[in-house]
């Protein structure tokens, strides 16, 4: 078995340069054996592509750790991002539903349908690299035939960034810009920031959660609570919307929700619930209308004789009170006599005659004779029904039966 490699850093010739004995002795004094083992393990960085293990010194590890320190608020800028798909597709980046206005946060005149993303600019990122390693450097991954950095087919460039003796890849582009000198400089700056993020520079700004805190953020807590009650009533969601406005969370991006904001998430759900309620109400109204139409059709078919076409009856204007009022305390004979007196007066009113027929049936006098002088003649029910049928006859049939009808009317009234 090969002997273990000595700890240290490798120079260009591949030889190992040992750490000063004083530093090793001092480390043994300050650290326990477990802590020393942890430092030794952390000082071995393995390239995942080649499997090559690179030894780094504690000073290098300290510098690499410093790269991950959070930036002060003064170094963090606000970059606008449109959250309206129509605005993003529009020629001037504003659709008909929104308007362009000056934003004091990002210092731009932009569509009011946008959110702000925290970012660190090229100058601030470069300043951090210089503080950690004044000798840091970058170089393109490939060169063209003129010895210049080579761009790929998409107009971007791969590069290698070396900090504290450790090299990592990055990619830069200038999406949506013509290939000018300004675009090339933006590609370089974007590539440096992209590679620096692989070292942990401003990594917390790219993450949707706090990388160093296991507790959920207020935005995560609110969205989690919102999702648990997402199918609740419109009133519940409106209350949640008011709470989000009070906490200034309406424009916050939804974690894992792409370009969606909390305000959009709530408003879209409220509109969906309202639309569902409107749809249910329309279906209920339509069902009631269909039921009423079917009932009217059945009633019309039952009131028309076989072989006759349904003709709307000639009826008088509706009144607020029924044509005949039932009176308490009347005897059956009194009810029958009142119906005999009322029928001739309502001889052209189908609704009134129908009401009289129902009253006779309820009072159980429908079998009484319509003419007291003819005990074996038509009953009250038969006389009333004949009057109703005559009114529902077609005009030609009604004229033919006019004489007979008048006789029957007199018979019912006598």
Instruction: Quickly list DSSP for 219-277.
Output: HHHHHHHHHHTTTS-HHHHHHHHHHHHHTT-TTSBPTTSTT-BHHHHHHHHHHHHHHHH
pLDDT of residue 159 exceeding 90: yes
Minimum mean pLDDT range among 28-32, 104-108, 229-233: 28-32
Phi then psi dihedrals of residue 266, to 5 deg: -70, -45
Query: Rounded distance, CA 183 to CA 190, Å?
Result: 10
Share of the chain above pLDDT 90, in %: 6
State residue 8's pLDDT score. Answer: 44
Domain locations in the chain as residue ranges: 9-55, 73-206, 210-302, 332-413
Q: Show Cβ contacts of residue 173 under 8 Å, excluding neighbours closer than 6 positions.
A: 154, 155, 156, 157, 187, 190
State yes or no: pLDDT of 284 exceeds 80.
Answer: yes
Residue 411, exposed/middle/buried by CB under 10 A (0-12, 13-18, 19+)?
middle
- Residue 37 binned pLDDT confidence (cut-offs 50, 70, 90): low
* pLDDT tops 90 at residue 139: yes
Q: Which of 93-107, 237-251, 342-356, 397-411 has the lowest mean pLDDT?
A: 397-411
Task: Copy the structure tokens of residue 265.
Answer: 């998430």
User: Which of 346, 332, 10, 377 lies closest to 166, judged by CA?
Assistant: 10
Global confidence as pTM = 0.38
Q: What is the pLDDT of residue 86?
A: 86
Residue for token pair 């974690």: 255
- CA of residue 222 relative to chain centroid, distance: 16
Distance between CA atoms of 252 and 405, rounded to whole angstroms? 83
Cα 196 to Cα 294: distance, rounded to the nearest angstrom = 75
Instruction: Indicate whether 138 pLDDT > 90.
Output: yes
Task: Give the closest residue to 266 by CA, choosing from 238, 287, 305.
Answer: 238
Confidence band of 70 (pLDDT split at 50, 70, 90): confident
Intra-chain end-to-end CA distance of the chain, in Å? 134
Is the pLDDT at 119 greater than 80, yes or no? no
pLDDT band at 22 (very low <50, low <70, confident <90, very high): low
pLDDT at 40: 52
- With a pLDDT cut of 70, the percent of the chain lying above it is 70
Segment among 80-84, 203-207, 338-342, 410-414 with least mean pLDDT: 410-414
* Local confidence band at 357 (pLDDT 50, 70, 90 cut-offs): confident
**pLDDT at residue 142, rounded to an integer:** 92
- What pLDDT digit, counting tens, does each position of 242-276 carry? 888 888 888 888 876 667 788 888 888 888 888 88
pLDDT value for 314: 45
């Amino acid at each position: 078995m090969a002997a273990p490699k000595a700890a240290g850093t490798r120079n260009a010739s591949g030889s190992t340069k040992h750490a000063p004995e004083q530093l090793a002795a001092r480390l043994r004094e300050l650290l326990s054996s477990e802590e020393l083992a942890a430092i030794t393990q952390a000082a071995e960085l393995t390239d995942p592509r080649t499997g090559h293990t690179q030894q780094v010194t504690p000073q290098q590890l300290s510098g690499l750790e410093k790269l991950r320190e959070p930036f002060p608020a003064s170094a963090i800028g606000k970059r606008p991002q449109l959250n309206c798909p129509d605005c993003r597709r529009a020629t001037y980046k504003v659709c008909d539903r929104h308007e362009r206005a000056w934003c004091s946060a990002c210092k731009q005149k932009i569509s009011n349908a946008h959110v702000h993303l925290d970012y660190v600019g090229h100058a601030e990122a470069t300043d951090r690299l210089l503080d950690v390693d004044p000798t840091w450097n970058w170089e393109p991954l490939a060169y063209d035939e003129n010895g210049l950095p080579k761009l790929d087919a998409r107009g971007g460039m791969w590069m290698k960034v070396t900090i504290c003796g450790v090299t990592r890849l990055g990619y830069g582009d200038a999406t949506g810009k013509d290939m000018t000198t300004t675009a090339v400089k933006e590609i370089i700056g974007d590539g440096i920031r992209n590679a620096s993020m692989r070292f942990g520079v401003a990594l917390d700004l790219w993450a949707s959660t706090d990388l160093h805190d296991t507790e959920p953020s207020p935005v995560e807590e609110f969205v989690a609570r919102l999702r648990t009650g997402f199918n609740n009533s419109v009133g519940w969601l409106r209350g949640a919307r008011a709470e989000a406005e009070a906490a200034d969370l309406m424009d916050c991006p939804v974690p894992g929700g792409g370009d969606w904001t909390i305000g959009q998430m709530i408003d879209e759900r409220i509109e969906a619930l309202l639309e569902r309620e409107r749809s249910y109400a329309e279906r209920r109204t339509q069902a009631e209308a269909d039921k009423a139409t079917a009932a009217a059709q059945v009633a019309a078919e039952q009131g028309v004789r076989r072989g006759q076409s349904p003709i709307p009856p000639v009826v008088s204007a509706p009144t607020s009170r029924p044509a005949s009022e039932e009176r308490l305390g009347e005897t059956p004979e009194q009810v029958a006599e009142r119906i005999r007196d009322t029928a001739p007066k309502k001889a052209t009113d189908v609704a009134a005659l129908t009401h009289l027929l129902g009253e006779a049936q309820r009072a159980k006098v429908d079998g009484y004779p319509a003419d007291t002088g003819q005990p074996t003649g038509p009953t009250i029910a038969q006389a009333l029904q004949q009057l109703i049928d005559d009114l529902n006859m077609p005009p030609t049939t009604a004229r033919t039966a006019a004489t007979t009808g008048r006789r029957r009317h007199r018979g019912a009234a006598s």
